[in-house]
Amino acid sequence: MQKTSYSRDESRPVSKILPALLLVILMIPAVTLSAQTAIEEKLSGFYAREGNSDSPAMTSRNNIYIKFFDDRWVGMMFIPYPYAIEVEDRVVSQVFEKARKHVSSAAILRGKYGLLSEPATIQIERYGYLEDRIVFECGALSPCTIRLRDEHLELIKPGVINEHIVKYNHVAIP
């Protein structure tokens, strides 16, 4: 008859699974934190539409900028063209900050904010996440979405026939 030993046996699967499970539990917050830091870096500064001060700006009569604020707010600023060519990046950033201080909810603002010679229009909205995209109201048929890339973002505006994808380049302001 074979003897059965009830002492702790190191070959049992539980003794190997438990340390692996603890390691995974400890790593999840670290991975999430690093992903969040990467997103925060991409959301710092502001984004300028590709073609600002060029034919897209001539057609729309605006240079367009996007800025992300704390607590999931996004702003889109429209500075009239050709005046917009004269406006420096630091001024764009300061105008966004001043406009954001004026509102506590979604709003469309128009003003010079003591920094511009001509009034700019700024739309400030809340944004959310849908899978790997940022979603917010942008005055289109349905919400706009944003895909973040390494050095730019793509604004996807719904259209009647198909979507319009516009590239915005990242402008980092120290």
Tens-digit pLDDT profile for residues 40-54: 555 778 999 998 988
Q: How confident is the model at residue 11 (pLDDT cuts 50, 70, 90)?
A: low
Tens-digit pLDDT profile for residues 53-68: 888 889 899 999 999 9
Q: How confident is the model at residue 118 (pLDDT cuts 50, 70, 90)?
A: very high
Q: Where are the domains of the chain?
A: 13-42, 43-171
- pTM, two decimal places: 0.75
Give the CB-side neighbour count of residue 172, counting CA atoms within 13 A.
Answer: 7
**Minimal CA–CA distance to 82: which of 126, 118, 47, 114?**
118
CATH number of 43-171: 2.40.128
